[in-house]
Structure 1
Amino acid sequence: MLNFKVKYLRAAYFLTKNYLKNYPSFAALELMGTCNNNCPYCSFAGLSNGQKDLADDDWYHIVDEFIKRGVISFSFIGREPFLRKDLLFKLIHRVRNKAITGVVTNGILVTSEDIIQMKELGLDYFQLSVHSLKDLQRNLDLTIEARKIGLVASLSMVVYSKNMNLWRKLIKACQDNEIIFNFCLCQQLKNSQTTSYLIKDIISPSDLNEVLTHANELFRTNPGLIRNSRKYINSLKNSLWHCDPEIFARLHINYRGEFNACTAFNTGVLFEDWVKYQVEAIKVRRSCQGCNYACEMDFASLSNVVRDIFRVSIRQ
């Protein structure tokens, strides 16, 4: 219990300090260069080019150094983190009393036993992405299980022109089960022959209006269910590309140990110098990685995760 309290006191201290200095508080770590899914809107498909993932020891070094520099939250993300399950579990345990930890996964490889074990290792939040009707039921069940044992658990979805029916079912399932969710809008789809992203998939005005109507209705009737920000939702009425950086800065390190020098993923001052001089294992990637989503610009989702975790911690 003492270690539990120390973790959240540390988070509150560094969140304030980092905000004043515009230093990073959050880190998203991309543990794998491959995925066991093949989504048509995935920005990362085909980008690994056979290059090796960062070694376990390098990841240990990175998280240790980030903790020393005041990072309070780690999100272990894709392409699919459960393809390196052993590493994932070791990293969760490594930072359990020092930082807030979360996992973002498609759920294909996740079992009920995994959820229990991650909770015991120190996991705080758990997000499952939904890509099909089959995913929806499986990941809904896993989310409910995770919530029962005290994890902040939620669903997420990428909305594009061909999955509006799935969107409607996701909304209903989340309302019926009081499940938190967030969504993002797709800009373009990959060419199945080349894996390049030349096929525009800007959602139709009528579908966009339906998505925004659903979102605004939830803000009115049950605002706790939707993790996206009102400002982001309203901005989508005018443009699918909207950059309103999070007031709490964050880092995104890809599977090769490269810092993605993107104004959306990485806000704040002097990030290149912060990374270069503080964590030598990391290389700075100065070029854009060509994100296909409007969603990546909505950072309120991340702050709301931390808000939910603090609420749960107070109740415990």
Structure 2
Amino acid sequence: MINGLISKNTVFDNYGRPVTSLRIQLNAICNFNCFFCHMEGTERNMSFLTPENIEKIVEVAASHGVNKVKFTGGEPTLRNDILEIIRRTRKHINGSISMTTNGVLLPILAVKLKDAGLDRVNISMHSNDDYTFEKITNVRRDYLDTVKRGIQAANNAGLTPVKVNFVVLKGINEDQIDSMINFCAKNHAILQLIEFETSRGRENSGDYLKYHVSLEPIEEKIKKRSIYMERNELHNRERYILNTLDGEVKVEFVKPMHNKDFCKHCTRLRVTADGNFKTCLLRENDYFNIKDKLNNQRSLDEEFIKAVKNRIPYWR
């Protein structure tokens, strides 16, 4: 059983992996322009699903045992109907509803998002200094202060536990891990150190060689510093608890590259902003179009099962 969330209606793929969570891309636009952003495997500025469309997809997924939803983008808070989307989703999901965001609009939206039914947020913050932040995001340095206020607003609103996503980049921010640990301890956030990734066959590409950092030696150092460990059953990864001058802090590692264990424990099906089920972020030809099936629940139901059955572990 994974997180105690498998039900009698849960659909399993042909590798015995249950699908219990849906990752829904709400748009493909962002007020940041991070140079490494994968835009959930889609193109920028595509059309997007309506709140009604999203509710139909969530309702069908929930009928097949899905009980967790994560909203992504682009930047999902840029949608002016984001509160309606969350309210509609809450009607069908008894488990966690979360969101990945850059945090810029959280100072004004956090309480409203919580009231609409959002449980928690992941906030992308890939640097703790103004210069590097500007270099990564291609926005003004003072936006970093806004993101930090967004983290505070999320905590104050109860969108917890707040997770800070930090993609480790060679020669850019890999020397900031200790400062990020201290920052997260002060701000009551879990730090997620994320491996820079690319699709199979592109490991010799210029960007991958330039920016990829192996997280293994970093994790070994963190493990030695930890006072105890927990296990996050999502992708079967360790969560390390460290003692700092500002109290305890939790650190996780997201290592999707060449990681059979990561794929073995994947329980996620993706929905793209323009209306496709997508089985894996790293694959390019795994789209199942559902936009023309949204008015036919039986067809949507069949497409959900078809997409799940076509899930293949990327690293195996």
TM over 0.5: yes
More helix by share: 1
Deviation (angstroms), 1:154: 1.7
Quote the residue 1:173 is aligned against: 183
Query: Any gaps of 5 or more consecutive residues in structure 2?
Result: 131-142, 199-204, 241-251, 284-289, 291-297
SS in 1 for 2:77: helix
Contact 2:231 2:238 in 1 (8 A): no
SS in 2 for 1:40: coil
Taking structure 1 as reference, are residues 224 and 146 closer, same or farther at Cα in structure 2, changes over 3 Å only?
Answer: farther
Taking structure 1 as reference, are residues 286 and 163 closer, same or farther at Cα in structure 2, changes over 3 Å only?
Answer: farther
Quote the residue 1:15 is aligned against: 6
Please give the alpha-carbon distance, in whole angstroms, between the structure 1 residues aligned to 2:183 and 2:151: 12
Contact 1:261 1:286 in 2 (8 A): no
> Number of aligned pairs?
259
Residue 92 of structure 2 corresponds to residue 82 of structure 1:
no
Contact 2:168 2:213 in 1 (8 A): no
Counterpart selection for 2:258 from 220, 241, 262: 241
Amino acid at match of 1:258: N
Counterpart selection for 1:122 from 111, 117, 120: 117
Contact 2:6 2:20 in 1 (8 A): yes
Residue 194 of structure 2 corresponds to residue 184 of structure 1:
yes
Taking structure 1 as reference, are residues 139 and 14 closer, same or farther at Cα in structure 2, changes over 3 Å only?
Answer: same
Please give the alpha-carbon distance, in whole angstroms, between the structure 1 residues aligned to 2:254 and 2:101: 27
Counterpart selection for 2:166 from 157, 161, 178: 157
Amino acid at match of 2:274: R
Quote the residue 2:98 is aligned against: 102
Contact 2:27 2:75 in 1 (8 A): yes
Deviation (angstroms), 1:97: 4.6
Deviation (angstroms), 1:114: 0.7
Report percent identity of matched pairs. 22
RMSD between superposed Cα atoms in Å: 4.4
Deviation (angstroms), 1:60: 2.5
Contact 2:30 2:78 in 1 (8 A): yes
Please give the alpha-carbon distance, in whole angstroms, between the structure 2 residues aligned to 1:146 and 1:68: 30
Quote the residue 1:312 is aligned against: none
Please give the alpha-carbon distance, in whole angstroms, between the structure 2 residues aligned to 1:97 and 1:281: 20
Quote the residue 1:216 is aligned against: 223
Residue 66 of structure 2 corresponds to residue 92 of structure 1:
no
Amino acid at match of 2:53: D
Summarize deviations over 1:78-131 as a string: whole Å, max 9, x none: 121112141x211211132542211110112x1323100111111111110103
Quote the residue 1:256 is aligned against: 274
Deviation (angstroms), 1:181: 1.9
Tell me the TM-score normalised to structure 1 length.
0.65
Quote the residue 2:201 is aligned against: none
Quote the residue 2:64 is aligned against: 69
Summarize deviations over 1:143-191 as a string: whole Å, max 9, x none: 2332233321221111111112343321121133342121211146xxx
Taking structure 1 as reference, are residues 215 and 85 closer, same or farther at Cα in structure 2, changes over 3 Å only?
Answer: farther
Amino acid at match of 1:145: A
Quote the residue 1:308 is aligned against: none
Summarize deviations over 1:10-59 as a string: whole Å, max 9, x none: x9885343568554210000011222222122123994265422334322
Amino acid at match of 2:163: S
Residue 165 of structure 2 corresponds to residue 148 of structure 1:
no
SS in 1 for 2:55: helix
Please give the alpha-carbon distance, in whole angstroms, between the structure 1 residues aligned to 2:279 and 2:26: 18
Residue 238 of structure 2 corresponds to residue 230 of structure 1:
yes
SS in 2 for 1:167: helix
Contact 2:49 2:274 in 1 (8 A): yes
Quote the residue 2:50 is aligned against: 55
Taking structure 1 as reference, are residues 73 and 242 closer, same or farther at Cα in structure 2, changes over 3 Å only?
Answer: same
